[in-house]
Structure 1
Amino acid sequence: MMVKEGYRVWMAILGLYLGAVIPLYAQMTESSESKKEALWKKIAPYFSPPQGFQDKQDMLRPLTVFYNGDTLHTAKDWPKRQLEIKKRWDSLMGNWPTLLQRQKLSIIDTKEKESHFEYQVKFYWTPTEETTGYLLVPKTKGKKPAVITVFYEPETAIGKGKPNRDFALQLTKRGFVTLSIGTTAASERKEFSLFYPSIEDAQVQPLSMLAYAAANAYYALAKFPEVLPDKIGIMGHSFGGKWAMFASCLFDRFACAVWSDPGILFQHDRESINYWEPWYLGYHPKPWRKRGLITADNPAYGLYPELVKNGYNLHELHALMAPRPFLVLGGAEDPPARWHALNRIVTIDKMLGYDNRVAMHNRPTHEPNNEANEIAYSFFEYFLK
């Protein structure tokens, strides 16, 4: 009798517990789903081209044709084509050194803010060079998604630079761990980039080397105890947009990416879409060409003119994202007509069975603004949280 009575008591307690927990769980689930629906409603319009740009493509090299001329027919063949593109661009730009997968961020200073901790950190981003950046960690408990931000220096993204570029700070306020890095010393020297093994004899195109550095930043950040390693994105504006684009395309551990007005295709009449410069894809030993547009008196050197001559363009790198999601925050350098190239990636995603993986928001100027940034933050919340 005592056993049966004890059983009844425990069943009653269990019933009370489940009666409280199940509705609470349902309420939390409903709240989570409602928030995701609200986020999607905010960003959904940017996954469709505006009127006049649907289904249109440009005259770029076909993505579904192998370099030997064979045509890709099924989704099953796409990984082979992606690997071919990756190997071809690696061979053109220079193969990376071995990735530094085992290092951790070293904390050199700590500041407590109202909503987060600000750590100054260092790590090796090339085999021979350490860099210093900022790790921002929300005070909330548990593992969190993360975003790496890239720019000329790491201070701007944490709120110590021009307005509307404080990407790391704003994302941290939304619950993300963020790591802000930048090429401070090189920018001060007007060299901007990374040159490996030396600036006198770089064996990897500098923009690809920046992507390599971001990949090493990923491995260091992924080992931080509060970070979800499979939920790490990357974001940058202008110079940082180029950096974020190359990093996310060339390194597939980034779950998603935001590229703010980098110039997502080669274009010779726009001075800011300057992939020909020696700190991007036109490396040549010093003395460097005079900065500016390509002219007969000021030609481009190195890899860049060879890429153009042989029909390469950046849509091939975009294809390495498929089916990972990415958002282009287009400004003066990336107008709505860029959908002609982005539609190619949409077609690939559909072939792979995915919708809503390619988005573009447009603004009239190169400068970031509140509206564009809010779309970017919502994009990361939707895909990483």
Structure 2
Amino acid sequence: MTDPLTLRREWVDLLGAHPAPDAEIRVGTAQTDGAIRRIPVELRSFGLDLIPRLELPASSSPCPVVVLPFYDTQVLFGEPSPLYPDPDARPTRAFARELLAAGLGVLAVPWWAEITAGASAARELHERYGPVAEEHLRQHPRVTGLGRSIADLRLAVDMLTGLDQVDGTRVGVFGHSLGGKLSLFAAALDSRIAAAVTHEPGLGFSHSNWSDPWYLGARVPADRDLDQLLGLVAPRPILYGGGGASDGAHNEALARSAAGPGSRIETLHHTGGHPLPEDVLVQMIDWLRRHLAA
């Protein structure tokens, strides 16, 4: 059996998920507003400035922090965004707001492809993200779109583990849909992540759009599948959920194949389809809170 370090190196090389040549972290001065401490953060990666949002409970330091990748950051805090103009839409996508209410810090990380495509009026996935993914591959042919995303998240974890206000041993990751894909890969390839939640990621290369150019394109491997990724997380706790769309009974066998001695894979399936129902969100946040407790 191949050891975890070798497997991680193989996946990182397959994705091209190495740090960007221009990788840079800039951290500003913390400001406290009532119960929340906000720390300005900028990440430079592959020629693009990412502006994550780092918010922590002011009453707890150092505290656990959940990395939260998604298209943009505004919607995660219950604010209108270009993609999601209705902040009151249900079920809610304000995952960051709910995590903060549970006493967890949050680092919301926007997706590089959405930042790049932000001025486009297109809403269909291939029209909106296809051109920016193809331009990325032209400039960085060894770095898949997914690899670029994971390199950004590893840079974000670098930043978190260097902050006095953050307990670097209690960094989690939470993701739904696009974010579920990114949370699965980030947790598998970065052992500093202590616990992970992935909802509707599309476990298995045949169960989602992994061959799209902003993910793996032509580099979907034929000699392995995503149970290997899940297995790389499994010595640490991971909660895998699905609503019967991308994830459910049709890929439960693949999830089971990742389990081994000492694995800590838990599942939380529902019948609500691809969206994350609010009662399931509450359960997932409570699970993270317990697993990131001191």
**Is the structural similarity TM-score above 0.5?**
yes
Structure 1 partner of 2:202 = 263
Q: Is the 8 A contact 2:23 2:43 kept in 1?
A: no
Instruction: State the 1:120 CA deviation.
Output: 4.8
Structure 1 partner of 2:138 = 200
1:277 to 201, 209, 212: 212
Secondary structure at the aligned position of 1:360 is classed as strand
Deviation string 1:11-41 (CA, Å, 9 cap, x unpaired) is xxxxxxxxxxxxxxxxxxxxxxxxxxxxxxx
Secondary structure at the aligned position of 2:9 is classed as helix
Question: Match for 1:333: what amino acid?
Answer: S
Secondary structure at the aligned position of 1:204 is classed as coil
Larger Rg computed on CA atoms: 1
Structure 2 partner of 1:170 = 98
Q: Is the 8 A contact 1:82 1:319 kept in 2?
A: no
For structure 1, the 5+ residue unaligned runs are 1-71, 73-79, 283-301
For the residues of structure 2 that align with 1:100 and 1:329, how far apart are their CA atoms? 35
Secondary structure at the aligned position of 1:200 is classed as helix
Question: Match for 2:258: what amino acid?
Answer: I
Q: What is the total number of aligned residue pairs between the two structures? A: 271
Structure 2 partner of 1:50 = none
Does residue 90 (structure 1) correspond to residue 19 (structure 2)? The answer is no
Judging changes above 3 Å, is the alpha-carbon distance between structure 1 residues 88 and 151 closer, same or farther for their aligned structure 2 residues? same
Does residue 343 (structure 1) correspond to residue 251 (structure 2)? The answer is no
Instruction: State the 1:279 CA deviation.
Output: 0.5
Structure 2 partner of 1:219 = 158
For structure 2, the 5+ residue unaligned runs are 80-86, 121-127
For the residues of structure 2 that align with 1:280 and 1:120, how far apart are their CA atoms? 29
Using the TM superposition, name which of 247-256 and 227-236 deviates more. 247-256
- The correspondence of residues 76-155 of structure 1 with structure 2, limited to 5 A, is 80-94=2-16, 96-97=18-19, 103-106=25-28, 112=33, 115-124=35-44, 126=45, 128-155=47-74
1:312 to 218, 221, 224: 224
Structure 1 partner of 2:291 = 383
Q: Is the 8 A contact 2:137 2:144 kept in 1?
A: no
Identity of aligned residues (%): 23
Judging changes above 3 Å, is the alpha-carbon distance between structure 1 residues 342 and 174 closer, same or farther for their aligned structure 2 residues? same
For the residues of structure 2 that align with 1:366 and 1:99, how far apart are their CA atoms? 36
Q: Is the 8 A contact 2:66 2:107 kept in 1?
A: yes
Does residue 329 (structure 1) correspond to residue 278 (structure 2)? The answer is no
For the residues of structure 2 that align with 1:94 and 1:117, how far apart are their CA atoms? 35
For the residues of structure 2 that align with 1:121 and 1:104, how far apart are their CA atoms? 6
Secondary structure at the aligned position of 1:145 is classed as strand
For the residues of structure 2 that align with 1:181 and 1:135, how far apart are their CA atoms? 9
Structure 2 partner of 1:371 = 279
Instruction: State the 1:337 CA deviation.
Output: 4.0
Structure 1 partner of 2:82 = none
Secondary structure at the aligned position of 1:255 is classed as strand
Deviation string 1:55-110 (CA, Å, 9 cap, x unpaired) is xxxxxxxxxxxxxxxxx4xxxxxxx5223322332332225136999845335x96
Judging changes above 3 Å, is the alpha-carbon distance between structure 1 residues 173 and 127 closer, same or farther for their aligned structure 2 residues? same
For the residues of structure 2 that align with 1:222 and 1:99, how far apart are their CA atoms? 20
Structure 2 partner of 1:234 = 173
Q: Is the 8 A contact 1:149 1:168 kept in 2?
A: yes
TM-score with structure 1 length normalisation? 0.64
TM-score with structure 2 length normalisation? 0.82
Q: Which has the higher strand share?
A: 2
For the residues of structure 2 that align with 1:111 and 1:257, how far apart are their CA atoms? 28
